[in-house]
Amino acid sequence: MPTSPEAILERSDSLRREIGGDFRDRMVGALYESAQQVASRSVRETGKRKWDFDQRVDRLVTSRSLGLPIMLLLLALVFWITILGANVPSQMLANALFTVEAAAAGWFDSLGVPLWITGLLWHGMFRGLAWVVSVMLPPMAIFFPVFTILEDLGYLPRVAFNLDWLFRRAGAHGKQALTMAMGFGCNAAGVTSTRIIDSPRERLLAILTNNFVPCNGRFPTLIMLAVIFVAASFPPAVASVAAAGAVVCVVVLGIGFTLAVSWALSRSVLSGEASAFTLELPPYRRPSVLRILYTSLIDRTVFVLGRAMLTAAPAGAVIWILANVTYGERSLASLAIGWLDPLGAAIGLDGVILLAYVIAIPANEIVVPTMLMCYLGGSMMIDVATYDEIRVVLIDQHGWTLLTAVNLMLFSLLHNPCATTILTIWKETRSPRWTTLGALMPLAFAFATCFATAQAVRLLP
């Protein structure tokens, strides 16, 4: 008769007692000893030049006093390069694409195609696409490779190291700094990357707060506002630096919200202590240029842009329909805008911006294009391609103030995650409760914060 499993367990239990309590320690000791023996025979040190260099760099970028400033400086540098490099290609793309729109629409007219088909196809869908491509593609094509270089170098774990104490104080896991960094690329990817956090409580904190760092879809909005409103009040020589500084301020505010909300959650619905973990600081590696270009341009840029275009074309059609279908005397768009205006005014924005955010729920990337299309809905002929022209439209024609710009930046930073991110939160948590909280909590923060700033500014003399 074969031995029963129970008999084996009984035997092993009694043997374990015989061996004594330190079995695990002794086995691990034996393991380390074997590893050390083998390694000592096969590894020979001939010098230690590179090692010292790595450590010296690490002592600098993870130092108590300089670690955080260096991090912010690098972040500012990334945005500065993006802002500086994206401006001209953006305008060229916009000019080219709007020329195509005008030519194609003219050609359709000469063929006698009904006006509504031309309008829907070219002034609606195509214009939506043109805006998304010209506003998004250049900043993304610059931001993603630069960010990937930092990742490839091995800088992200150093960021986690620098921020660990902050997250621990907030009751969150130190690796949340890593998932937060991934959120800069895409919040949905950031939510997925929280799988590296073992504790379910801390993982939920990371998931729920990931939206507070602006993803790549929201950077173009922030960058545009920074260029139009912040940079314009500085001399041209330092304008791009000032714009980059403004974006960094918004990002730091987002990190502040991440920490504050994590802190509040870990002292209420998700109470508990931060767990300890080990984080390896990998050696600095020379980034391989071809792979970075491939990963950042094909995997990330094309993927994100493709998604944006998929949502931009229908959104363009929706805007065109709203602007051109009338109910009574007014178009549907102006009815919706009129209806949303009081709410918008209360939080320092306006009805058009709120309508744009409703239409842009599928993807944050299309907020600015949607907004501009709503503003320009009535005046199709205006060719708006440069930031200067956008400024004329927003400030002179639609009464934007500095408050509108600041609040739009805040709203863009804090508002609800895009549909993809909400879906990812659902996939990762499988909980209607956390998904709802993940979607609505940021929205509530956005309204509350914007309401507070609007009221505060209006109280000022």
Partner 1 sequence: MSANVCNGCPAHDQLARMGIDVESYDHVVALAGNPNTGKSSVFNALTGLRQHVGNWTGKTVTRAEGAFGYKSRRYKLVDLPGTYSLLSASQDEEIARNFLLFGQPDCTVIVTDATALERNLNLVLQVLEITDKAVVCVNLMDEAERKGLEIDVRSLSRDLGVPAVPTVARSKQGMAELVSTVAAVIGGEIRTSPLRIETPAGVSEAISGLVPLIEDLVPGLANARWVALRLLDGDHKVREALLSGELADLAGSQHASAPQRSSRITAIAGAQ
Residues binding partner 1 (CB under 8 A): 2-9, 11-12, 15-16, 18-20, 23-24, 26-51, 151-154, 156-157, 175, 178, 192-193, 195-196, 198, 279-280, 282-283, 285, 288, 291, 294-295, 298-299
To the nearest whole angstrom, how small is the minimum distance from the Cβ of residue 343 to partner 1?
Answer: 40
Return d(Cα 39, Cα 251) in angstroms, integer.
46
To the nearest whole angstrom, how small is the minimum distance from the Cβ of residue 362 to partner 1?
Answer: 24
Q: Which residue has the tokens 């950031």?
A: 190
Cβ count within 10 A of residue 284 = 17
Give the up-direction half-sphere exposure of residue 37: CA atoms within 13 A in the CB hemisphere.
6
To the nearest whole angstrom, how small is the minimum distance from the Cβ of residue 98 to partner 1?
Answer: 35
- Pick 159 or 244: Cβ nearer partner 1: 159
Contact 316, 124 (CB under 8 A): yes
Contact 367, 412 (CB under 8 A): yes
DSSP output for 92-104: HHHHHHHHHHHHH
Residue 399 region by backbone torsions, left for phi larger than 0, else alpha for psi between -120 and 50, else beta: left
- Pick 101 or 164: Cβ nearer partner 1: 164
To the nearest whole angstrom, how small is the minimum distance from the Cβ of residue 294 to partner 1?
Answer: 7
Return d(Cα 426, Cα 20) in angstroms, integer.
47
To the nearest whole angstrom, how small is the minimum distance from the Cβ of residue 295 to partner 1?
Answer: 6
**Token output for 381:** 């002929």
**Token output for 308:** 């944006």
To the nearest whole angstrom, how small is the minimum distance from the Cβ of residue 1 to partner 1?
Answer: 10
- Pick 8 or 92: Cβ nearer partner 1: 8
- Pick 118 or 194: Cβ nearer partner 1: 194
Dihedral of CA atoms 34, 36, 40, 41 in degrees, nearest 10, equals 10
To the nearest whole angstrom, how small is the minimum distance from the Cβ of residue 165 to partner 1?
Answer: 19
Give the sign of the dihedral formed by CA 99, CA 320, CA 310, CA 104: negative
- Pick 52 or 109: Cβ nearer partner 1: 52
Is residue 350 helix, strand or coil?
coil
To the nearest whole angstrom, how small is the minimum distance from the Cβ of residue 39 to partner 1?
Answer: 4
Return d(Cα 374, Cα 369) in angstroms, integer.
9
Dihedral of CA atoms 278, 284, 287, 291 in degrees, nearest 10, equals -30
- Pick 176 or 221: Cβ nearer partner 1: 176
Return d(Cα 381, Cα 389) in angstroms, integer.
13
Chain-centroid distance of CA 74 in Å reads: 17
- Pick 47 or 461: Cβ nearer partner 1: 47
To the nearest whole angstrom, how small is the minimum distance from the Cβ of residue 114 to partner 1?
Answer: 46
Return d(Cα 391, Cα 395) in angstroms, integer.
6
Question: Which regions of 250-402 does DSSP assign to beta strands (E)?
Answer: 326-327, 330-331
- Pick 22 or 388: Cβ nearer partner 1: 22
- Pick 49 or 56: Cβ nearer partner 1: 49
Contact 159, 213 (CB under 8 A): no
To the nearest whole angstrom, how small is the minimum distance from the Cβ of residue 277 to partner 1?
Answer: 10
To the nearest whole angstrom, how small is the minimum distance from the Cβ of residue 222 to partner 1?
Answer: 25
- Pick 4 or 65: Cβ nearer partner 1: 4
Integer angstrom CA distances of residue 185 from 85, 179, 443: 18, 10, 21
Contact 185, 144 (CB under 8 A): yes
Cβ count within 10 A of residue 317 = 19
- Pick 80 or 147: Cβ nearer partner 1: 147
